[in-house]
Structure 1
Amino acid sequence: MTRPPAHALVAEFVGSLLLAALVIGSGIAAQRLSPDDGGLQLLENAAASAVGLFALILVFGPVSGAHFNPVVSLVDAALGGLSWRRFVLYAPTQVVGCVTGAIVANVLFDSAPVSISTTDRATWPHGLSEVVATLGLLLVIFSLTRTGRGEKAAAAVGAYIGAAYWFTSSTSFANPAITLGRVFSDSFAGIAPSSAPLYIVAQFAAAAIALPLIRLLYPAVRHEEMTA
């Protein structure tokens, strides 16, 4: 289904806002409900993020593709599934949506609307984790959309992100827009401004690795609309 660009931008903004709100909001809730158990906090945050992402892709996929992620949009454009003009519009919309979602999450839990995170995550294992997490996400999405199985993307992406919270030391941000959004919440899900550049560079590095892999492994394209 092809929708006018304005409709797609609204979908990307609202979807990105809700994605950031559910990731950060569930992190705040987990921190408050299980203050002395880091493992349980991560489980609660991961579960909410996985099922919430599944629902958001189902809701917004038919309108915009439900990217919510500049790296996904970049790879889609490089593979010819998204126009470069639309990519230029999508990326800032996704960032603004995620920053707005962080503010909404803070307000929902009676915190200051903007609180800059102090959680330092900038180590080389975190950076490598973001390369691996983002690469895996891109392979999940484009292996399905390029082989005619796009309708399975919502469940697959939700499941992958839920798992990647646990097998990566970074807890799988895998998204430059959500990385920037999480700077604006000094909570369990936050990331310090000084750590964000490492994550963003790693995420775009993963895109550079993913492109040739996708072309090699899935050269035949089924002409269907992106659903993740």
Structure 2
Amino acid sequence: MSLPRRLFAEFLGTAALVMVVIGSGLMGQQLSGDLGVVILINQISTVLGLGVLVALLIPVSGAHINPAVTMVMTLRRHVSVGEGLGYIMVQFTGGIAGAVGAQAMFDLPLVEFSDNQRLSTGTFLGEIISTAGLIAVIVTAVAQSKATWLPLLVPAWIGAGFFATSSTSFANPSVTLGRMFTDSFTGIAPESVLGFIAAQVLGALLGWFLVSVFYPERFRSQQPAGQSPPTTGPAHTVKEGS
């Protein structure tokens, strides 16, 4: 795939993911006043949508749809710095577009800044843990030649994080930014966004470090089966992310 096609895939994938996250939250609020039911609706929809997106986009762009994943893939030299920056730009843009699309579907103002203050010591730690786990799952699966499991493993980890972490496992800077533009159950106040993204960056680096500690030689040298060395560019970096 050419770089423009891969960038467009990352844009669409991220936009679709954010639209699923916000849209299912809005639908949950309409269907029930029970917060537990709303969270469950949001979780199931996010898990299913994420699994479909990862499965379909792996052969196209690698299905990063997450700047934290792209950052680690760049550090691992599976994509060049320039290409990684391109991925991250379209992922953030896609996150905003997905939020606007979700708002439009429910006849709400296209942009509503959230007042949902989410940042605390506990949620900061929760985001570090959830993002570290996500990165560890992705890199470990590829190194163990189980990249075809990622459409199951990635949503399974995120789905578990909904209830296992205090932050409900955003684990994705572009999703975090997009959720700033909806004043709904899934929203996050602008004041909390930078803290969440900082935690996600720290978590991604921690996950990368932990995997490198446990499997230093294997992870340093292994490429996904049947693929070219990373110097050939990100067209050969599929099976790497969520």
TM exceeds 0.5?
yes
Q: Structure 1: which amino acid aligns with 2:131? A: T
Q: Does 1:223 align with 2:217?
A: no
Match of 1:140 among 137, 140, 146: 137
**Distance between the aligned counterparts of 2:62 and 2:137, measured in 1?**
15
Question: Residue 213 of structure 1: CA displacement?
Answer: 1.3
Q: Does 1:211 align with 2:223?
A: no
Q: Does 1:28 align with 2:40?
A: no
Q: Structure 2: which amino acid aligns with 1:132? A: I
1:103-142 Cα offsets, whole Å, 9 max, x none, are 0000011111111111110111010000011011111111
**Distance between the aligned counterparts of 1:164 and 1:152, measured in 2?**
18
**Distance between the aligned counterparts of 1:5 and 1:214, measured in 2?**
29
1:65-94 Cα offsets, whole Å, 9 max, x none, are 111111100001111222212101000100
Q: Structure 1: which amino acid aligns with 2:189? A: A
SS at match of 1:50: helix
1:145–1:226 Cα contact (<8 Å) kept: no
1:98–1:180 Cα contact (<8 Å) kept: yes
Q: Structure 2: which amino acid aligns with 1:13? A: F
**Distance between the aligned counterparts of 1:110 and 1:21, measured in 2?**
14
Q: Does 1:177 align with 2:189?
A: no
Q: Does 1:70 align with 2:67?
A: yes
1:136-174 Cα offsets, whole Å, 9 max, x none, are 111111100122111001110011111101101111100
Q: Structure 1: which amino acid aligns with 2:11? A: F
Moved over 3 A (4+): none
SS at match of 1:194: helix
SS at match of 2:191: coil
1:147–1:218 Cα contact (<8 Å) kept: no
Q: Does 1:123 align with 2:135?
A: no
Q: Structure 1: which amino acid aligns with 2:58? A: G
**Distance between the aligned counterparts of 2:148 and 2:12, measured in 1?**
21
Q: Structure 2: which amino acid aligns with 1:30? A: G
Question: Residue 214 of structure 1: CA displacement?
Answer: 1.7
**Distance between the aligned counterparts of 2:215 and 2:95, measured in 1?**
31
Q: Does 1:104 align with 2:139?
A: no
1:17–1:100 Cα contact (<8 Å) kept: yes
Superposition map of 1:46-85 within 5 A:
46-85=43-82
Q: Who is 2:233 aligned against? A: none
Structure 1, unmatched stretches of 5+, are none
2:64–2:70 Cα contact (<8 Å) kept: yes
**Distance between the aligned counterparts of 1:197 and 1:107, measured in 2?**
26
Q: Structure 2: which amino acid aligns with 1:54? A: G
2:132–2:205 Cα contact (<8 Å) kept: no
